[in-house]
Structure formats: structure tokens, C-alpha cells
Structure 1
Amino acid sequence: MSPHFTPDSAALVLIDHQVGTIQLVKNIMPDTAVRNAVLLGQAALAYGMPIVLTSSQEDHIQGPLHPAIQQAMPEAYANRVKRSGIVNAWTDPNFVKAIEATGRRQLIMAAVTTDICLVFPAISAVEAGYEVQAVMDASGTDTEIGEDMSRRRMERSGVWLTSTNTMVAELVQDWSTPQGGPLVKAMTAISPMLPVEWAKP
């Protein structure tokens, strides 16, 4: 398994960043998870990387995907996989079909919550032969023990754990590039949920 992900080899997968589920995040600030998911989306868009979004039971307490996700990734949002309540997104045929359609074998994943929505599909993807980096500060859950156990389980199963800034830097490689300049500004912006070209240091 290669630890090196590139814009040409990876796809971004964001799972269940919904207005209801995001309220369950307690181990970090909920807005931080959304902020970082948006930043990952900005990086993916800057490089033309495939983005797969999925949600679960939008008409229930989980609610719709967060408005910042919708605004930052409108095309991916329009094509999102709406699950009926399946816990492990990887067991939803429509989700797997969307992943396969990207043509990528490296997946950058984040989800809310870590101990339900991220741990299962991340491990299942590795079992299916994909390389996975789980972005922990674009994810989160309601207890420290749930977060810790999920991280340990993913690592034992071959999932690489990372942070948003590390992941973005790995994709960029050179801040002086046309993509790198705006993204480094977005990383330090007061409001990184704005489009990249609006972000100011």
C-alpha cells in the first residue's frame, strides 16, 4: 500500500456531513469538521478530482447535507448517493457504483460520525483493494472513546489516518502552483467555507 496520494490517483469521499448528524460531533467543534470537509472539497475541485457525496435518510433527524457542502460542491451534491438507512455505505450498491465510476483506487474519506459512518466503509474499501486515507479532523463523533476505538480499528485494518492540512499539502506538493496558492490561502482563511478564490489569509 502506497502512502503517496496524488490528484491523478485519488478521489474524495465525504459521508453523512448532514445538519443533524453534525450536531453529534463533540470531540472537535462541529464547524471544524464541516470547515475541513469543505477545504478537502476545494482541493479536489482545484485539481479536477472526482468527488463522491453520500447521505442517509435526509428526511429524518439526520437532515440534508450541510449547506456549506452543498454550496462548495454543487455538482457532487446533485449527484449524491442518498441511502435509505444503510449503516455501512460500502454495502449500498449505488455507493460502490459511484466509487467505481471514479476510476480511482485511492480514496480520501471523511465522515460524520467517525465510529459509525467512517469506520465501516473505510475498512470495507481496504478489504475491497482500495487504498484509504481517513481525514480525522474532517470527521468526528460524540465521545472520545468512540473516536479512539474507531481510529485503532481502522489503523489495524490498513487505513491511513491523516489530517486535513496534511492531506491538502500532500495533494498540492508545491504552494507556488496555480492550485497551491489559493489553497494555502484557504487553509489560513478566517472563513474557509467561502470559495477558494474569495479566501484571504
Structure 2
Amino acid sequence: MTFRNGLNSLLRPEDSVLLLIDHQPYQLANLNSHDPHAVVNASTGLAKAARVFGVPTVLTSVLAARGGLLFPQITDVFPGQEVIDRTFINTWEDKKVVDAVKATGRKQLIIAGLWTEVCVAMPVIHALGDGWDTTVITDACGGVSVEAHRVAIQRMIAAGANTMTWLALAAEWQRDWARTETAGELTEVLSQHAAGSGIAYFWEQQLLNTPVSA
């Protein structure tokens, strides 16, 4: 059952599965909705957050022999993990991908990929129709234009998808800084990929470690 309000609507690491779609050189070459550096950074931060919280992550590419391998920033987070290479434009039509997601036993499906209007929108709408509680991580996606990305996000929201950014997701998974088993590792990820927040953390550490003058 999909909840739209209340505590049960929030994402939980023990119920989440992450599907990363087509973060490949060909798609990045014509990404114009975002700064490409920002998309690579957000995608990497998302992948690392999933690792911190033990969220199963399915990696998939399309025609990798022509479109290129997944960004090494992502595959390095999951060394040795198979990348499912497809011919289907709609990832959710590939049985290997769907079976890999189902095998996790999780119910909260989180998706990010390139391009938003094609390889993200189609599987999101398809999975929603199959009853999945589906969330799109918008800043780890990107389209061929600002309009293409925005219209795709609007289309997926209208279909019933949730949307959020990778940093919001990481905070939702953490939920409580008293959860020390993940707080330290997550802080390290934030320091690497959360820009101003990460730099502010280093500044805070500097101030805490500066002796007080007599």
C-alpha cells in the first residue's frame, strides 16, 4: 500500500531499493537541463548514501558498447557488482531488471537516471502502474533541455510518483542523528558531495578544534 501522508509515507532504508539507470557518457553529452558536473556529483552522493544505509542498488545501462559504461564514480561505489545492460528503452520492460528489484523484497522503489524524459519517465510510470511506491531523485537525473526535464517531472508526479533530491533522501533515511551506526559515514558523504553543507561541516570542525584564548 502506498501512503501519501503521515510517518509511513517517509522513506526508510530497510524498505528501500535504488535503481540507477543509464548514467552513461552518451546521455551526459547531451544533458542540458543541469550542470553535468552537478548531476555526476548528485548521482555519486546518492550511490554512496545507499551504500551507507545498506540499500540494495540495481545498476543498469543501455547499449553500453555504443553509449559507454556507467560513470566510474558510481561503479566504484559498488565494486564488482554486475551492471545489467539492456536493449529496452523502458527499463521496466527488461525482466532481468525487474527480477533484480523484486528479489530485494523491498517496497519503496527509488529511481534516478538519464534522460529524465525517456529512460526515467517510462519505467517510473510503468512501475507505478504495477503498484510500486516510486520516488524519483530529481537532481540525479537530467534531460536534453530544461523543458524536457521539467515536463517529465510533472508527468511523473501526475502519474503518482514522489520527487525529492538526493540530500533530502539521505536525511530521510537517517531520520535521527542519534542513529550513530550511520551518522558518521553519512557525514563523510555529505562532506564530499553536499557542497556548502560539507564545507560548513569542515568549518565547524575547525572552530571546535581551535583552542580558546586565555
Provide TM-score, normalisation by structure 2.
Answer: 0.83
Partner in structure 2 of residue 44 of structure 1:
50
Which letter maps to 1:156?
A
Residue in 1 aligned with 2:155? 153
Match of 1:188, as an amino acid? Answer: S
Letter paired with 1:64 = L
Select which of 82, 85, 97 maps to 1:82. 85
**Counterpart amino acid of residue 181 in structure 2:** P
Deviation by residue 1:141-198 (Cα, 9 ceiling, x = unmatched):
1211111110111001000011111111000112342312331332232699xxxxxx
Question: Are 1:164 and 2:170 counterparts?
Answer: no
- Contact kept, 8 Å, 2:34 with 2:146, in 1: the verdict is no
4+ residue runs of structure 1 moved beyond 3 angstroms? Answer: none
Aligned to 1:110: 112
Q: Any idea what SS the aligned residue of 1:17 has?
A: coil
Identity, % of aligned positions: 29
Partner secondary structure for residue 129 of structure 1: coil
Q: Is 1:53 the counterpart of 2:59 in the alignment?
A: yes
Unaligned runs of 5+ in 1: 193-199
In structure 2, distance between residues paired with 1:103 and 1:169: 23
SS of corresponding position for 1:20: helix
Q: Is the 8 A contact 2:42 2:193 kept in 1?
A: no
How far the C-alpha of 1:81 sits from its partner, in A, is: 1.2
CA drift at 1:4: 1.1
Q: Does 1:22 align with 2:28?
A: yes
- One of 139, 142, 145 as aligned partner of 1:140: 142
Greater fraction helix: 2
Shift in Å, 1:30: 1.2
Residue of structure 2 equivalent to 1:184: 187
Q: Does 1:70 align with 2:75?
A: yes
Whether the aligned pair in 1 keeps the contact of 2:51 and 2:77 (CA below 8 Å) is: no
Count, aligned residues: 190
